[in-house]
């Protein structure tokens, strides 16, 4: 299983763009990179998934370089409601193993 | 669809008692996962099923824990006997069994063993 490493915590002001980088050096050819968001007292919620280059949806963008050994989740213009824990996963088959996550705090 | 449904939402029990947590996955999903979350250990995958069959239970902490999936729409996680260190939030999740998929989580069951 590919292990992921991401910062433990980050702070950002409202309206700023936030980039959270995750490293996954031993990612396998068939693995996908997936990001989840978790609010207190709730289960994790899917944000975005990608295999290579760039993926964008209504919530975030995911940037994956050619070697796929890292990925960056980009949240445009964060608001206070984006305060949460963000998890980077490398999904092998459909096995979802979570790391420690990044606790993002958005400051007014 | 109502999403993944877990019951109960909260459970307080005495040490030594049997505890059963329940999960109804999203209709049509053929994979189901049980997770445990604590401050110390984060989100741990306990066991997962594909097409009602347990595939990997290496995350189950010990023999006191057991999980079943008698049909595609129901799963249980049982702890017998329960201990204070089992206190945690237990999540159930379901997904399609395919290489590119996302898991949908329930609201969780907060278990407190006193």
| Chain B residues 37-76 with a CB less than 8 Å from chain A | 42-43, 45, 48, 50, 56
3-state secondary structure of A56: strand
Q: Is the pLDDT of residue B99 over 60?
A: no
Half-sphere exposure of A72 (CA within 13 A, CB side): 11
CB atoms within 10 A of CB B5: 14
B37: closest CA of chain A, how far (Å):
10
Across-strand partners of B13?
B113
Chain A's closest residue to B10, CA to CA, is: A41
* The pLDDT value given to residue B2: 80
Across-strand partners of B38?
B42
Task: Kindly state the DSSP code that residue A59 receives in the 8-state scheme.
Answer: S
A5-57 per-position pLDDT tens digit: 999 999 999 999 999 999 999 888 888 999 999 999 899 999 999 999 999 99
Rg value, chain B, Cα: 13
Q: How far apart are CA B60 and CA B45, in angstroms?
A: 8
Q: Taking CB atoms and an 8 Å limit, are A100 and B42 in contact across chains? A: yes
Q: Taking CB atoms and an 8 Å limit, are A94 and B96 in contact across chains? A: yes
Structure-token pair, residue B69: 């999936």
A69-83 per-position pLDDT tens digit: 999 999 999 999 999
Q: How far apart are CA A51 and CA A66, in angstroms?
A: 10
Strands (E) across chain B are located at 5-7, 10-13, 19-24, 31-38, 42-50, 53-56, 65-71, 74-79, 88-95, 104-105, 109-113
């Amino acid at each position: 299983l590919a292990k992921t490493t991401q910062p433990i915590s980050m702070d950002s002001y409202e309206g700023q763009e936030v980039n959270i980088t995750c490293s996954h050096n031993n990612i396998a050819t068939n693995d996908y990179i997936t990001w989840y968001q978790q609010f207190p007292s709730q289960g994790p919620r899917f944000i975005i998934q990608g295999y290579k280059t760039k993926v964008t949806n209504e919530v975030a963008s995911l940037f994956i370089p050619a070697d796929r050994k890292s990925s960056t989740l980009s949240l445009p213009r964060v608001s206070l409601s984006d305060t949460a824990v963000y998890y980077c996963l490398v999904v092998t088959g459909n096995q979802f193993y979570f790391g420690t996550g990044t606790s993002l705090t958005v400051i007014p | 669809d109502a999403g993944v449904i877990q019951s109960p939402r909260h459970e307080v029990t005495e040490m030594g008692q049997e505890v059963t947590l329940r999960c109804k996955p999203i209709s049509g999903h053929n994979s189901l996962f049980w997770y445990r979350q604590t401050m110390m250990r984060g989100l741990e995958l306990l066991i997962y099923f594909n097409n009602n069959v347990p595939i990997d239970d290496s995350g189950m902490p010990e023999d006191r824990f057991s999980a079943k999936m008698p049909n595609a729409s129901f799963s249980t996680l049982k702890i017998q006997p329960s201990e204070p260190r089992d206190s945690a939030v237990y999540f159930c999740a379901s997904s399609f069994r395919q290489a590119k998929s996302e898991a949908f989580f329930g609201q969780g069951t907060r278990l407190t063993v006193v």
